[in-house]
Every structure is written in C-alpha cells, then in structure tokens.
Amino acid sequence: MRYLPLTDADRRQMLDVVGAGSIDELFRDVPEAARLFGPIQGLPMHAPEMAVERHLSALAAKNVPAGSVPFFLGCGAYKHHVPASVDHLIQRGEFLTAYTPYQPEIAQGTLQVLFEFQTQVARLTGCEVANASMYDGSTACWEAIGMARRITRRKRTLISSGLHPHYVAVCNTMARFTGDTLVTGTPELAAETDIEQLIGQIDGETSAVVVQYPDILGRIADLTPLAEAAHAKGALLIAVVTEPVALGLIKPPGEMGADIVVGEGQSIGVGLQFGGPYVGLFACREKHIRQMPGRLAGETIDAEGKRGFVLTLSTREQHIRREKATSNICTNSGLCALAFSIHLTLLGEKGLRQLAELNHARAVQVAERLAAIPGVNLVNDSFFNEFTIELPVEARPAVHRMVEQNVLGGVSLGRLYPGSAALANGLVVAVTEMVTDEDIDALEGALKEVVA
C-alpha cells in the first residue's frame, strides 16, 4: 500500500524488538469479543490512484460548478477570483503539513503569517486586535455573544433581523443550552433596516446588540447611532461581516463604534467549497483581549534578542484553563487564514479598493437592469455587491426554473426563511468581479422568462 513504508521484513524485525510474537499481541488490551479479525464490512478494498480519481471525478461531474454557468449566489459565501499564487503557496508542505505552532523556534513561518493576518483583520475591520481565526463566521458570531456575556455579565442579546438566518440558528442552538436569551426577528422586504427598532429595545439588561453589515438583504446602514445607544446602556455592539471585500470601500464597523467585529473571511482567498472549510474572523478592542476566544500570535524576542513570534495569552485557552477557558476551540482555520492573508497581500490597499469598486459598480449595473424588468422591484436603497429584488412570483420555484436555463440566479428568501409568506417573493442577487456581460444578459433573460 503506497502510504505505508514498512515491509513485512521490517514488521518481523520490529516485533522481535518489541518482544511480541504477532501484531495481535499488541492489541491484547482490546477484549477478544470486540476485536475485528477480517476486513471491515461495508468498505471496498484498497485502490490505486487512478481508480480513486475515477470515482471522485464521477461524483464531481454530478455537480454544477459556479464557474461553469452565469452565477449570482451570495448570502454568506461569495464567488471571487483567487490568484493562482495563493493556492500554490498554501500547498507549500511547510505550511500545509505543519501543526499548530506549539514549538515556536521551528514554526516562525506560521506564527509570522498569523501575526500578519491578525494585523490585516484588525485594520480591515477598524479594530485594534484580532485573533488567529475561528471555524467560520457563524461560530465566530456565537463566540462574540459569549464574550460579550463575560464582559458585561448580562445574558440578554438583541439580534438584528438582518443577521444571516443560519447564523441566528447557530446562536439559538447554543443559547438553548447556555441560558442566554436571544431576541430575534425576521427581516422585512424594505429599504430600511431594523436599527431604529433595535435602539428602542436596548435596556439595562442588554449584553450586546448583534447586527450584520451589509445585512442579509444586502442593505448597508450607519452603525454609529446603534453603537452609541448600546454604549449608553452599558451594552456592546457586535458587528458581523459576511462579505469582507465590502470593507475595501465602506466604513469599517470598528470606526463606527463596534466593540467586537466578527466575520466570514471566505471571500478573500478561500473558495466556495460547498460551505467549508472557511475562516472565521474575530476582532475587538484591545481592552477586551483577555476575554477573546481562540489563538493569538504575539511578538516577542528570542534568547539572542531577535524578534520572533509565539502563541500568547494561552491562559485563556482550553489546553491550559480546561473548564475555565474562554472557549473550547482548539483546531481553527490556520490554512484558510494563510490563504486570506496571501490574497490580501497580493491585493494590497490599492487592489482591494479596486476590487471593491468593481464589485459595487457591477452590482449597481445589474440591479438597474433587473429593476427595469416589469414586475421586478429593487428592495434596497443601499448595497455593496448584493441586493434583494422582489419578484411578482414566488422566488424559490423561480430559482429552480432558472437552473433549467443554466443560470444560478440567486438565493431565494424562501430557502432561507421557509415559513415566511412575506419574504417568499424575495431573491438575493450577488454580483462579483467574476460576472461577465454575457452572464448579466443570461440572468436578465432567464428572469424575464420566469416572471412573465
């Protein structure tokens, strides 16, 4: 078997050294009754590379890759172009096959990358510090709520109706078991967000307000008044960003007063991959650093006085603090953080801005084209690269009918909010730099047909 270097002669020789007559003697602690002697039932026997490739390729061929059709899906995962050098560099064996940098003298590569990543995330979000990544945006969101609870010692959190419903679901799952109270709602197909309403709900029991920016319908609202209102009552503002490319163009939540900014980093450097692995971003104010979850790379010096990096403040973490840790997270998204960081380094400030401008401009063009279709109504006043339209028909079947015309035309709100009749005609359309003029024509044509 190609992954196993030991020969039968090696095995015999090694058994002699060990003093065992057979391999089975080494498994003698496993009760005889539970031991398996033949190959495991249900699995095939080992296979050569080409046979495995054939099997996987056949499965892959049953899917429609985003790059093969006019593609307009967003809602938490975005199709952006990833430069070829990103995927090359993350496959360097020294990055790909390294473990968590517990031995810093031989892990400076990973540690410096994480330090650079943390700085990039902090600057992009307008915060002072960021950690070395979480699993994804949704789990980072729950961790932020937990962190706010530890800081404020309150257990009631207001969640904007504009937060991605799957993120809300993740938080609801956890809150059910931790005793946190989450106040949630369903968005309205309107240009206005629920910020005014949230401001009215903040009281002395409120731990935090969670708001997505841009929100699930693509709307952008100034968070400043919300931050001020939260702070006036001793609550924190948690901002959630699912499309970080937007931050190349719009004000970062940290600048508007957000205390914790979490996000999904997938759209920079990480492919769609059917939902994972992605990379959770987690940034906050420096004064709260000791309440942060997850790993942190920090600067220090070595015995010769040279600058170097280590994992730091580990007394927050599970391997030291056990049940008193700020989180149970151990493995995070290191390699995706590397991809994010490389892509952002390639872009730089200039490239990120250009990319964001291109996304926005293309989205504005598409929004105008679609809004001109009779019966189609653009919901948003403001948006970045994603907006919601209201169709004269139910959006969910419309999406499937567009598939028949080889167009992946958007995410129907019926898929995200199955019970809601008021949202059933809503379609969220994302437009990135990948969209061509032909793609737009195809979307317009398909949509005209399904609303006719």
Partner 1 sequence: MTINQSGWKPAAPVQGPGDTGTITGNRALMLEEPLIFELDGADTTGVDLAPAPKVASRLGGLERSEAIGLPGLSEPETVRHYTRLSRQNYGIDLGLFPLGSCTMKHNPRLNEKMARLPGFADIHPLQPRETVAGALELINQLAFWLIDLTGMHGVAMSPKAGAHGELCGLLCIRAALEARGDAREVVLVPESAHGTNPATAAFCGYRVENIPATSAGRVDLEALKARLGPDVAAVMITNPNTCGLFEPEMKAISDAVHAAGGFVYCDGANFNAIVGKVRPGDLGVDAMHINLHKTFSTPHGGGGPGSGPVVLSEALSPFAPLPYTAKTADGVVHLVEEEQAEAFSQEHFGGAMQSFGRMTAFHGQMGMFTRALTYILSHGADGLKQVAEDAVLNANYVLRSLEDVLDAPFAHSGPCMHEALFSDKGFADGFSTLDLAKALIDEGFHPMTMYFPLVVHGAMLVEPTETESKAALDQFIAALRHVAERARAGDEALKSAPIYAPRRRLDETLAARKPVVAFRTPAPDANKVSGLNEAGGQ
Least distance (Å) from partner 1 to the CB of residue 205? Answer: 20
x/- map, 180-219, partner 1, by CB under 8 A: ----------------------------------------
Under the criterion CB under 8 A, does residue 304 sit at the interface with partner 1?
Answer: yes
Under the criterion CB under 8 A, does residue 358 sit at the interface with partner 1?
Answer: yes
Least distance (Å) from partner 1 to the CB of residue 84? Answer: 9
Q: What is the dihedral of CA 377, 162, 227, 143, to 10 degrees?
A: -160
* Site size toward partner 1, by CB under 8 A: 215
Spatial CB neighbours of 260, under 8 Å, sequence gap ≥ 6:
127, 144, 147, 148, 208, 236, 237, 238, 239, 282, 283, 284, 285, 288
Under the criterion CB under 8 A, does residue 380 sit at the interface with partner 1?
Answer: yes
Least distance (Å) from partner 1 to the CB of residue 198? Answer: 17
Residues 23-52 interacting with partner 1 (rule: CB under 8 A): 23, 25-31, 33-36, 39-47, 49, 51-52
Least distance (Å) from partner 1 to the CB of residue 179? Answer: 7
Closest to partner 1 by CB, 203 or 353: 353
Q: Is 70 left (phi over 0), alpha (psi -120 to 50) or beta?
A: beta
**Of the residues 195, 237, 241, 329, which one makes contact with partner 1 according to CB under 8 A:** 329
Under the criterion CB under 8 A, does residue 421 sit at the interface with partner 1?
Answer: no
Rounded Cα gap, residues 54 and 59, in angstroms: 9
Rounded Cα gap, residues 86 and 336, in angstroms: 10
**Of the residues 70, 113, 147, 209, which one makes contact with partner 1 according to CB under 8 A:** 113
Among residues 424, 419, 403, the alpha carbon closest in space to that of 73 is found at: 403
Least distance (Å) from partner 1 to the CB of residue 430? Answer: 10
Q: Which of these ranges, 75-83, 151-159, 181-189, 225-233, lies near partner 1 under the rule CB under 8 A?
A: 75-83
Please give the backbone phi and psi of residue 126, each rounded to the nearest 5 degrees, phi first.
75, 25
Neighbours of 150 (CB within 10 A): 14
**Of the residues 59, 153, 374, 421, which one makes contact with partner 1 according to CB under 8 A:** 59
Find tokens 């790993």 and name the residue: 295
> Are the C-beta atoms of residues 156 and 207 closer than 8 Å to each other?
yes
User: What 3-state DSSP class applies to 310?
Assistant: strand
